[in-house]
DNA sequence: TCAAAAGTGTTCAAAATACACCCATGT
DNA sequence: ACATGGGTGTATTTTGAACACTTTTGA
């Protein structure tokens, strides 16, 4: 017999993604490696997987990622998935590498979890990794979908992740290291106004190296697009540092 | 009524790939951008698509590429596909980028051709691009499968290709330009014994630039791993050039 | 002997590296 | 007054860029 209460229950338990009318491609996913900086160390954004319809949290963390829709391209998929899982929107993402080991999602624990959220948990999935650097001050995390929570974890404290996500993180880190040699990406991770010491710490964190303060400052100030503000730090128990900002328009007119 | 002649016909017309017992993933392919050098210009290896079971040659060329098998990883797929289409085996391939526009294979001409070779010609396919540099002297082309022929085409004379293959070629070229700044890749494309002028021409072809001969020679000879042989060119109508070789072991012990 | 490409050195400017002390602030 | 991190200059070496003439060979 038909009972309106059941319908309501059904609706409640339908997974958010299943409510869209987009067809999902069962074989291709995107994963996002989002880096942040806490003024000391490089961090990466991970999600805590919620176990399907239950309130249980899967204790294994993962990069935010999910299957693509048939009618979106990969860049769009990465933006959408990141937004659905963490609330971050309008993030400029760059493709890093594609991972396609036939067994990359077949570990027992990963399969158990996939069975709780996927129509075809056993289907082979190759995943396209994307990365971005974000200034944590400018964005708020509002996790939803199957992400119970989204958390910043220091890169050097990253635990064993689900799937092949440690490998993906390594690749993204490596990509970042190479890229920062070619482009001044650092400012993406810092507050709008920052000190040269902060910038140096950031480069040292990314490149896992140390630099001479005078040489570093000279090199930064030689570029014309990191410009001094007429402001200084306040309330620090030492000589206050001058603040600088990155000038995008000066950078682009080089 | 059963007639043995029909069976024989059926077997003849089964496409080579369909004779394997590998399951094919309908959504993921690999494409290979193989560069060569003719002592003057950079070339790329293209296939002439044969139109299904007929002897007709599709006049549109393409990069060698095809769907992956479910039980191989992406690197293996690239090697296999390259070998099946061109006869090149044991080629070291590097992944470049993944292309996933939802409409990348839906142009009419491409669809017509896919219908002649694929079980699901309309399925969405994302493709993972791989690239390599090869010394043409060391390899022979023996095209088969749906490649009627495999041909070297000067990069600057590349015509409009099937699918999004012009875009893929551009990306691979760009990858190569960046990579050759970081690693001495040039020797991969040259004969085992080469002159410094050949090497310079190669760098100029890849980077689309020209260099001062003296500065170029100084820079090359400053590296310890491009070593002079006690040999010179013969039969040239000018002062014969010294021959050099790339010493892999010297390079790797840096 | 001529044409064609090989081979060779110097100068200048810019960038990388190494290195040590005084300064401004809050406590 | 002291602890903390901010800020500065010089000397040396290495690298990049610009530039023109002589040499060796085959035809």
pLDDT tens-digit profile of A82-120?
999 999 999 999 999 999 999 999 999 999 999 988 999
- Protein CA A145 to sugar C1' D23 (Å): 76
CB contact under 8 A, A70 and B102: yes
Q: Is the pLDDT of residue A130 over 70?
A: yes
Whether B27 and A25 have beta carbons less than 8 Å apart is answered as yes
Burial A213-247 (b: 16+ CB within 10 A, else e): eeebeeebeeeebbeeeeeeeeeeeeeeeebbbbe
CB contact under 8 A, B100 and A71: no
Q: Which of A51, A78, A64, A39 is nearest to A189 (CA)?
A: A39
State the burial class of residue A79 (Cβ atoms within 10 Å of its Cβ: 0-12, 13-18, 19+): buried
Give the count of alpha carbons within 13 A of A98, CB side only: 28
Report how far apart, in Å, the C-alpha atoms of A79 and of each of A71, A75, A95, A132, A219 are.
Answer: 14, 6, 11, 11, 34
Task: Work out the pLDDT band at B137, boundaries 50, 70, 90.
Answer: confident
- List, by residue range, all CATH 3.90.79.10 domains of chain B: 24-179
Which residues fall within 8 angstroms of residue B226, CB to CB, at 6 or more apart? Answer: B184, B187, B199, B220, B244, B245, B246, B247
Tokens read off for B106: 């839906």
User: For C4, which residue's CA is nearest its C1'?
Assistant: B238
Q: Which of B162, B75, B74, B161 is nearest to B117 (CA)?
A: B162
Provide the pairing of β-strand A94-99 with A65-69.
unpaired
Report how far apart, in Å, the C-alpha atoms of B243 and of each of B39, B190, B197 are.
Answer: 14, 12, 10
CB contact under 8 A, B73 and A25: no
Q: Is the pLDDT of residue A196 over 70?
A: yes
Q: What is the dihedral of CA B37, B38, B42, B47, to 10 degrees?
A: -90
Tokens read off for B216: 């170029």
Report how far apart, in Å, the C-alpha atoms of B44 and of each of A95, A123, B111 are.
Answer: 24, 35, 24
Pick from A24, A68, A93, A102 the residue to mutate for testing the B interface (most B CBs within 10 Å).
A102
Provide the pairing of β-strand A42-50 with A57-62.
antiparallel
Which residues fall within 8 angstroms of residue B164, CB to CB, at 6 or more apart? Answer: B99, B101, B104
Pick from A124, A127, A130, A167 the residue to mutate for testing the B interface (most B CBs within 10 Å).
A124
In this prediction, residues B94-112 reach a mean pLDDT of: 96
Q: Give the CATH class of B24-179.
A: alpha beta
**pLDDT of res. A62:** 97
Distance CA A98, CA A127 (A): 6
**pLDDT of res. B181:** 86
**pLDDT of res. B53:** 55
- List, by residue range, all CATH 1.10.10.10 domains of chain A: 192-251
**pLDDT of res. B185:** 87
Q: Is the CB of B197 under 7 A from strand C?
A: yes
CATH of B192-251 among 3.40.50.2300, 3.40.50.620, 3.40.47.10, 1.10.10.10: 1.10.10.10
**pLDDT of res. A11:** 32
Residue with tokens 């210009």: B41
Shortest Cα distance, chain B CAs vs residue A126, angstroms: 8
Rg of the Cα trace of chain B? Answer: 21
Question: Of all nucleotides in the shown strands, which has a C1' nearest the CA of B243?
Answer: C6
A78 to chain B: closest CA residue: B100
Closest residue to B126, CB basis, from A28, A99, A101? A28
Scan residues 213-242 of chain B and list those with Cβ within 7 Å of strand C: 213-215, 217-218, 232, 237-242
In this prediction, residues B187-214 reach a mean pLDDT of: 95
Residues from chain B that touch A71, judged by Cβ atoms under 8 A, are: 102
Distance CA A45, CA A205 (A): 16
Which residues fall within 8 angstroms of residue A7, CB to CB, at 6 or more apart? Answer: none
Which pLDDT tens digit goes with each residue over A148-191?
Answer: 899 999 999 999 999 999 999 999 999 999 999 888 888 899 99
Which of A174-178, B54-58, B207-211 shows the lowest per-residue confidence on average (mean pLDDT)?
Answer: B54-58
- Protein CA B81 to sugar C1' C26 (Å): 68
A→B contacts (Cβ < 8 Å), by residue, are: 25-28, 68, 70-74, 77, 95, 97-102, 124, 126, 128
The whole-chain average pLDDT of chain B stands at 89
């Amino acid at each position: 017999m038909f009972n309106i209460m059941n319908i309501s229950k059904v609706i409640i338990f339908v997974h958010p993604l299943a409510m869209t009318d987009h067809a999902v491609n069962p074989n291709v996913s995107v994963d996002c490696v989002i880096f942040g900086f806490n003024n000391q160390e490089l961090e990466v954004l991970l999600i805590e997987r919620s176990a399907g319809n239950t309130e249980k949290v899967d204790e294994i963390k993962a990069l935010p990622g999910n299957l693509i829709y048939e009618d979106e391209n990969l860049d769009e998929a990465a933006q959408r998935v990141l937004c659905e899982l963490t609330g971050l929107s309008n993030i400029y993402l760059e493709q890093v590498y594609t991972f396609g080991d036939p067994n990359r999602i077949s570990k027992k624990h990963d399969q158990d979890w996939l069975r709780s959220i996927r129509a075809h948990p056993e289907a082979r999935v190759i995943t396209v990794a994307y990365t971005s650097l974000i200034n944590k001050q400018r964005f708020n995390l509002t996790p939803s979908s199957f992400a119970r929570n989204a958390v910043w974890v220091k890169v050097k404290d990253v635990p064993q992740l689900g799937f092949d996500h440690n490998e993906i993180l390594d690749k993204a880190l490596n990509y970042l290291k190479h890229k920062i040699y070619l482009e001044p990406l650092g400012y993406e991770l810092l507050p709008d106004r920052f000190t040269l010491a902060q910038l140096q710490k950031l480069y040292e964190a990314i490149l896992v190296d140390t630099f001479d303060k005078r040489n570093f400052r000279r090199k930064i100030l030689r570029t014309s697009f990191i410009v001094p503000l007429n402001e200084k730090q306040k309330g620090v128990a030492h000589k206050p540092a001058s603040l600088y900002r990155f000038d995008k328009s000066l950078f682009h007119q080089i």
